[in-house]
């Protein structure tokens, strides 16, 4: 058994905070949207928020279920079906969203010094644990960004900022700099 280095511990803690941030961005978007909004599509070839969530759910269950011991592309996964209008209600969307993220966080909290150097396979291609986590983090950030953008398009002038509201950058920065040099995660002060 090898003890975790400070860098490995910091990486895992940062990873969890970063995933929590992307999850929160999605949830702050959902809270601003009506039932019909989550099914809106710019055109027939584009994805609705519901379709994106269905894809994220399928990906998360496939990638994070037994991720240390089985390939991340599970034989039971039907990726093509993830891009169909499967979700029928906002409640169902929220349930799938929570189920996917719960699977991811269970997996991340199961990482320890005994398994940190396990080779992770995705479609039979080996990844270091860090590579596998980073791959999924970037993938989810990409899709959460789409969810936020669609939500913002739908809400227009009624959109409530998810980070620093327009026109408030100076006061936000003044407050941060008034605290002096300090630690913490960059998301700690974003409401």
The model's pLDDT over 94-113, given as tens digits with 9 standing for 90+, comes to 999 999 999 999 999 999 99
- pTM here is 0.93
- The predicted pLDDT at position 175 comes to 85
Residue 79 located in a structural domain = yes
Specify if 169 maps to a domain: no
Domain count of the chain? 1
Q: What is the pLDDT of residues 15-50, one digit of tens each?
A: 999 999 999 999 999 999 999 999 999 999 999 999
In angstroms, the CA 99 to CA 142 distance is: 19
Q: Is residue 130 part of a domain?
A: yes
136 assigned to some structural domain: yes
Identify whether 184 is part of a domain: no
Q: What is the mean pLDDT of residues 153-175?
A: 91
The CATH number assigned to the domain holding 93 equals 1.20.120.450
CB 154 within 8 A of CB 38: no
| Residues in a beta bridge with 125 | 122
| Residue 29 vs residues 37, 51, 132, 146: alpha-carbon distances, Å | 11, 15, 27, 11
Domain of residue 85 covers 6-160
Q: How confident is the model at residue 146 (pLDDT cuts 50, 70, 90)?
A: very high
SS3 81: helix
Residues 140/22, Cβ–Cβ less than 8 Å: yes
Is 91 within the bounds of a domain?
A: yes
Whether the pLDDT of residue 1 is over 60: the answer is no
Is 170 contained in some domain?
Answer: no
Kind plus residue range of the DSSP H or E element containing 120:
strand 120-122
191 located within any domain = no
């Amino acid at each position: 058994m090898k003890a975790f280095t400070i860098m490995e511990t910091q990486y895992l803690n940062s990873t969890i905070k970063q995933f929590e941030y992307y999850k929160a961005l999605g949830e702050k978007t959902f809270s601003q949207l009506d039932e019909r909004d989550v099914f809106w599509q710019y055109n027939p070839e584009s994805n609705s928020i519901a379709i994106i969530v269905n894809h994220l759910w399928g990906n998360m269950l496939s990638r994070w279920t037994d991720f240390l011991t089985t390939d991340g592309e599970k034989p039971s996964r039907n990726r093509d079906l993830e891009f169909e209008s499967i979700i029928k209600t906002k409640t169902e969307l929220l349930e799938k969203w929570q189920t996917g993220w719960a699977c991811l966080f269970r997996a991340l909290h199961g990482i320890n010094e005994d398994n940190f150097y396990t080779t992770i396979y995705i479609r039979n291609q080996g990844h270091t644990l860090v590579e596998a986590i980073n791959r999924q983090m970037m993938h989810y950030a990409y899709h959460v960004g789409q969810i936020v953008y669609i939500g913002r398009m739908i809400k227009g002038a009624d959109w409530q900022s998810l980070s620093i509201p327009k026109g408030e950058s100076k006061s936000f920065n003044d407050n941060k700099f008034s605290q002096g040099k300090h630690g913490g995660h960059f998301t700690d002060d974003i409401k």
